[in-house]
Amino acid sequence: MSGPGESTLRLWLKPSLVWLALLVLLGITVGSAYIPLGVFNGVINYTIAAAKAALVLIFFMHLDRSRALLRLAALAGIFWVLFMFSLSFGDYLTRDWNGSATTLEPVQSKMGVRERGTYPQERLPLVPRFGKRD
């Protein structure tokens, strides 16, 4: 005997379980922020973020029951995002600067003889980090 309540329950069961899994992963993410694990905090949080993104893609965007062409398009999008992030992180990790475009460096030629030993903060000009302009 199947009533209208059974079909409604079956309809809401899968999204509710996915929502509950997302909430559990959110709790783990928040909890891991308070546990000092060093480098592994980032690894754990990125893994959890990938799992949450996979849950959203598969269940809420219905990639589990879509056509192969749509799955291929989603896979190409994920590949492209990973490619762009790898280029950005590769650029960032190979530089030897702290991220600012300028740094405080004294200009020796503009200072007097007495001032060369001590460099007060107000006398340090902002010098472009990537060379002088022509």
Mean per-residue pLDDT of the chain: 79
* pLDDT per residue as tens digits for the range 60-119: 888 888 899 999 999 999 999 999 989 988 877 777 665 555 555 555 555 555 555 555
Supply the pLDDT for residue 89. 85
134 or 46: which leads in pLDDT: 46
The pTM of the whole model exceeds 0.75: no
Quick one: residue 129, left, alpha or beta (phi over 0 = left, psi -120 to 50 = alpha)? alpha
CA–CA dist 58, 74 (Å, integer)? 10
For range 12-22, the mean pLDDT: 93
Give the residue extent of every domain in the chain.
13-92
